[in-house]
A and B are shown apart, each in its own frame.
Chain A
Amino acid sequence: MTIKPNRRQVLQGAAAVAGTAVFAPAIHANPAPIKLGTLASLEGPLAINGQDAYRVVELLLEEANYTAGGRKIEWIRESSNAKPDVALARTRKLVEQDGSDIVLGPLSGAEGIAVRDYSRTVPTKTFINGSSASQDNTLRNSSENYFRFSTDGTQWTAGLGEYAKNTLKIDEVTVVASDYAFPYSQVFGFSLEYTRAGGKLNYLWTPFGTSDYTSLIAQIPKSSGALYVVYGGSDGLAFLTQYAQAGGSLPLLGGTLLADQTLFAARGPHRKVLEGTVSAGPIGDYYENDVWKDFLARYTKRWSKDIGQQTPGTLAFAYSVNLQATLLALKAVDGDLSNDQAAFREALKKLEFKNYIDAHVKLDHNRQAISDNFLNKVEVRDGRLQTVVFKKIPSVNQTLGFPEDKYIALGAPSRNNPGNVQI
């Protein structure tokens, strides 16, 4: 039997030979690209944050010209819907089917725990957090190849509890919050600080995705001096709208995702109660700092034709810090991912850098960031509502300065363990 190659096979063969001849020297100088898989939520309730995160990732990769440490970066983007099972499935796809070397993500709290658990089963790859901010990604049962250069939901509250008690002189705060992992982290941090300062707390929890808060609002104790509102996205909009319509007038302290561009962009009566809200988080929209202003200018320049003057939100910022660290470490090892990425991981652990809001970042022994936090107030600047930074809390660690053994002994944050205890 003779093999008669058809026309197509001949052409393919010719192309292959030509390709080898032309590109062989280039391949020698520039080894195969690094596959960077990213995961963010482009579906579901946090889709808006996922889009924002990918705008930041795209901006930074473009600025790096899709290279790091002398190697090309091949970017593979995946999406989840803020649910852990989906995040896990998509992460597996990134690693097992796409062959990603490094995974950057995911976006939300419970997803992060799922990805961290998965990371243990593939010790030859490196996982770098996106914006997932639940404390236990790194504090308890941390994984050797899971890194987080962004601060967590509890660190994001640093400074707020003490400010409420000592500066605003509020003696009793009622916490209204969604009943899931991320608000637990935030309420825990706020409660620890506020209780230490001598304040009294009440708690009202509602299921995630509640749209009618009128009966909850009726339950707010009359003795409250302020509300600590830990809702984000549509839950936050619904709560604040109904609180405004009910004639609510207590001062508001905001969870990190309450005082957010998402709510500032929406129109309605909630804006009236939102103005003046004090909140804490890893960024503020308006901050007199050149590094930050430069970053915002680059972001706006790249994306203003799509989204106007909107600036990146907290979650997108977390992606920026983690990607910045990834690129810095790749540069430090000249793109060397051999030996199961050992050198790359060592470089990650040793990194110390200033992020795009000019906050100092380094890792602790759990591969968790120690970085600065900011106190903000919602004000009108440049004709629109923005969070305006008025205080910086330097070098916040994961246990908010409390001794780690005592902090861990308190147990994981939950609605039954909201942190209103004295250490």
Chain B
Amino acid sequence: MIAHAIFFYTFSIIAVVSAIMVTASKNTVHSVFFLILDFISISCLFIMIGAEFLGMIMLIVYVGAVAVLFLFVVMMLNVAQQKNQWFAAKDSSKHIPVGLIISTLIFFEIIIVIGGWKYKPEIFDINNAIAQTSISNTHSLGQILYTDYIHVFQISGMILLVAMVGAIVLTFRHRSGVKRQSYIKQISRERAEAVEILEVQSNKGVKIDD
């Protein structure tokens, strides 16, 4: 039990400190690295409470794909030079009221969720959700997602697909005059259409280009 507590506090301290460092560090690339550290420690916390599937998906999706793209964009835009002055800048203080409002809202939402957990424990009873407790949580997630919540699950997938298609359509430009490679054309070229043997008569020559 003590080892469990030690691990819990280690991971949660790393998570909180790196979350603060995401906003506080001056270099944007460092911010992304702290974000990755935050994701990793949160997935460790997920694994510690027995949600190993969620933890692994967190690692694969957020750390393995999303954060790589973040890093990619941050490096490409070269924003590392623009110092991210969190403490010093004067004009950033204009955003403080907005930030305060949003954080109060989130704080009350969390209070409501935790309050419900505290005063109505039967809503969050795990045995209500999972039919058999003997199966692993990957199995139970699949059994719930693909039976009771199949429509919600499919709709959320469709929304993501629409977002992706929309982003591609918005940024797609068809440039004219670009020579494109066609593999089928290249492979299916025969000798007859590429090479021609001519009898060249003297003093007359051959017209190659027409």
* Chain A complexes with chain B: no
Q: Which residues of B contact A (CB under 8 A)?
A: none
